[in-house]
Copies of this chain bind each other. A is one copy, B any other.
Amino acid sequence: MINLSANAVAAGQAMHALARELWPINRSITGDGLRATLTRLLDVVPSLRISETPSGSRALDWTVPEEWRVQRAQLTGPDGEVIADLAVNNLHLMGYSCAVDRTLSLTELAPHLHSIEDQPDAIPYVTSYYQRQWGFCLPHAKRLTLKEGNYRALIEAQHFPGSLSYADLLLPGDSEQEVFVSSYCCHPSMANNELSGPVLAIYLAKWLSELPARRYSYRFALVPEMIGSLAYLQRHLATLKRNVVAGFNLSCVGDERAYSYLPSRAENTLADRIALHVLHHTDADFKRYRWLDRGSDESNYCAPGVDLPVASVMRSKYGEFPEYHTSLDDLDNVVTPLGLAQSYALMQRIVLGLEHNHTYRVTVLGEPQLGRRGLYPQTSKKGSTASVRTLLDLLSYADGKLDLLTIAQCCEVPIWQLAPLCERLLQEGLFERV
């Protein structure tokens, strides 16, 4: 597993603390919870820009829905007992529920209750964005205790013409070519899916904004999942298609389990290549998914005609870990400072790999004489040359056509071991950049 720098350890702590702060906010795909979350991220990187897209706006094939606001949601039982209360846990209320104030029998109530038989202590996360419904979610163990009688369902909520919020950030680099990092911000009170994504994204942006130089420009987008990425594409598609050379959807990046990779649709973009390379050299047990396993904004970013080179880097993939989309996905047992720090370090490796991925041409014919440049041991005996093998391998592949990432694959070493050697060879005049 990855070795952590002090910077990464500190970032892990900071990300975890920020996630804990954001935890209680009742996020959804629109509304004040989403806005409050984005505003808090702006404290970390002030150049973050928050945008609003009015309800009814076109978002490619979709339409931005009405905004949702909720003041109160409570389900009480025959004896006045509180069965489910938004004030206790945001997940108790089905997302985007419409207003209701009714008294119902248990039978009438049943279609409005959601629980998971196999996870009796978990409150499930359920939403209904595009059909007006209402519902309460509760642990199955609790549900089993419900007795016959009159239940009161009270939801004070409004759907109204408002707007959808998202945030983005562009860190200019030497080139207009962009590396694009997207994450989503619409899940209430869950940790891996999703607070881990936006907190990692904002801390990566912070680190990148403080670098003395950047080869690439970096674009970050923090959007409500699905509809937010569609709205973002609606406004920025031409720019993204022109500039983005590699992109990553960050999701479920806060636990300590094995890393996961899900390819772009094209499967062989620069984003896929660098992600696979870094994962290969970081986590022998990383799990490789297929495009068929996708389930987040890459569906839009990689759709035909959009065709952005966006791969997904995760720890436990959404849908694959037991706590996914339940109240068990928390900041104590699932997402940890260490898990966040490791993902942060991994993304640094990916970003620096891209920054270092130049194409070099060796300036001399034949194997260069390293000895007179102080790069070769002076006495030749069995085994003594082992230490310069990587340098010679690098030189042997630097034909002005293969990029450093390809050469790293050929040499079977991580690109971060080759990058300083390239610098040295540039200094010696043995390398030139193509």
Contacts and interface: CB of A to CB of B under 8 A. Distances in A.
Nearest to A303: B366
Contacts of A292: 389, 393, 410-412
Nearest to A376: B130
Given A292-B393, A364-B60, A380 B128 contact: yes
Contacts of A233: 365-366
Interface stretch (A140-148, A327-335, A396-404): A396-404
A289 interface: no
Contacts of A426: none
* Chain A contact surface mostly: loop
Interface stretch (A12-20, A102-110, A207-215, A367-375): A367-375
Contacts of A265: 396-397
A128 B325 CA distance: 67
A306 interface: yes
A398 B305 CA distance: 10
Contacts of A60: 364-366
Given A265-B396, A292-B412, A379 B128 contact: yes
B116 A367 contact: no
B126 A380 contact: yes
A124 interface: yes
A124 B371 contact: no
A53 interface: no
Contacts of A395: 303
Given A233-B365, A366-B230, A372-B130, A116 B303 contact: no
A330 to B, nearest CB: 17
Given A133-B378, A303-B366, 20 more contacts: A59-B366, A60-B364, A116-B382, A128-B379, A130-B369, A131-B371, A131-B378, A133-B379, A230-B366, A233-B366, A265-B396, A292-B389, A292-B410, A292-B411, A299-B366, A299-B392, A300-B367, A304-B397, A306-B366, A319-B382
